[in-house]
Amino acid sequence: MAFIRSSRSPWHPDSGLQLPSSEITPQEVYASRRTWLAQAALGSAVVAGGGLGALLNPAQALAQGASGSLVKRPGKLAALPGVRSAVPGAIAMEKITAYEDITTYNNFYEFGTDKSAPAENAHTLRPRPWTVSIEGEVGKPLTLGIDDLLKLGAMEERIYRLRCVEGWSMVIPWVGYSLSTLIKRAEPNSRAKYVEFITLADPKQMPGVRSGVLDWPYVEGLRIDEAMHPLTLMAFGLYGEVLPNQNGAPLRLVVPWKYGFKSAKSIVKIRLVEKEPVSSWTKANRGEYGFYSNVNPKVDHPRWSQASERRIGEGGIFTPRKATLMFNGYEAQVGQLYAGMDLKKFY
């Protein structure tokens, strides 16, 4: 029942154990982005170039940054073709976390609960063949194979902050397209108030699924307006290449203003539903992991503060922590989704 079964207890989870030491600064990328900012500030075509751009004026674009060139590929996995740089608003103007850290410090409980376990064990995941079905309150239920999914929308690089509920964070150059592109294809009807994401739970491929650490499959949910928000990303890659298995191959959700556990990995089913879905983490401990789980420095986790975070790859436990930003820094884009809501109550 609702006792705490996760490795997120009983100590402060951000105890600093297993700190990755590598730290790569893609300085040239950072520099080129700054140059390009000057053009964005002039209100260039990029501001009008896509769904996200429409949310921003040039001054906001300047404040939030914009990308002119793609992050350099590490050359480890297959490149994703045709990737374009993201429109303003999808960029965190901060040092991008090293590929090594993004791919070796993971939460993917289907492969074990240690941060290093997914990188060690996820080689057994078979990301092809793969299908995703979209069903429920839709006019046109669909099942799409990974090759069709890859072609469905224009691939964009989006550099987002990822803030884990445990108190650490990264800056990740994802590649994908807005989830709305996919959902619209299935033609949601007026009863579609929420979206439920169901991920693979195959004990043959995922040794952790044999454990009772969570109630499998891993399930997450969003309100329909959150799911259709242009920042909500269906990610197929990172650093310009296909997703490594440990990061949720072949496709995962990325909701940058919410704690990382909302960003479900290795999705197989998307259900449009009328009632609020119950996520795996809420089932495991409703008092600690609510449905909304928006990043909020003013609403603490019952067992630790959420006011600050440790950026992975930027020093050890003695390095000063960064202040956590409201909605993880995406308040200008998403704050209006929660207008009038008591964010302490709807945590």
Residues that bind ligand MTE (CB under 6 A): 106-110, 162, 164, 199, 218, 247-248, 260-261, 263-266
Work out how close the CB of 30 gets to ligand MTE at its nearest, in angstroms, rounded to a whole number. 21
State how far the alpha carbon of 277 is from the alpha carbons of 120, 148, 220, 295, in Å. 32, 27, 7, 19
Q: Which is nearer to ligand MTE, 65 or 260 (CB)?
A: 260
Q: Which residue is nearest to ligand MTE (CB)?
A: 260
Q: What is the Cα–Cα distance from 195 to 132, expressed in whole angstroms?
A: 14
Using the minimum distance from each CB to ligand MTE, give the nearer residue, 41 or 299. Answer: 299
Q: Are 279 and 334 in contact (CB under 8 A)?
A: no
Q: Which is closer to ligand MTE, CB of 138 or CB of 255?
A: 255
340 exposure class (CB count in 10 Å sphere: 0-12, 13-18, 19+): exposed
Vertex 30: Cα angle to 51 and 53 (nearest 5): 10
Residue 252: CB minimum distance to ligand MTE, A: 7
The tokens describing 24, both together, are 């790569």
160: its two tokens: 């987002």
CA distance 76 to 242: 9
**How many other C-beta atoms lie within 10 A of the C-beta of residue 295?**
28
Nearer to ligand MTE, 53 or 248 (CB): 248
Work out how close the CB of 125 gets to ligand MTE at its nearest, in angstroms, rounded to a whole number.
11
- State the nearest-atom distance from the C-beta of 219 to ligand MTE, in Å: 9
Cβ atoms within 10 A of the Cβ of 243, count?
Answer: 25
CB of 264 to ligand MTE, least distance (A): 5
State in angstroms the smallest separation of the CB of 48 from ligand MTE.
32
Of 108 and 257, nearer to ligand MTE (C-beta) is: 108
Both tokens of 335, joined, read: 């704050």
- Shortest separation between residue 38's beta carbon and ligand MTE, angstroms: 32
Q: Is 140 exposed, middle or buried (0-12, 13-18, 19+ CB in 10 A)?
A: exposed
Torsion of CA 8, 167, 157, 222, to 10 degrees: 60
Nearer Cβ to ligand MTE (53/118)? 118
Closer by beta carbon to ligand MTE, 32 or else 308:
308
Read off φ and ψ for residue 208, nearest 5 degrees.
-70, -20
Pull the structure tokens for residue 17. 């154990």
d(CA 125, CA 32): 36
Q: How far is the CB of 311 from ligand MTE (least distance, A)?
A: 13
> Which among 141, 122, 105, 112 has a CA at the least distance from the CA of 17?
105
Measured from the CB atom, is 134 or 162 closer to ligand MTE? 162
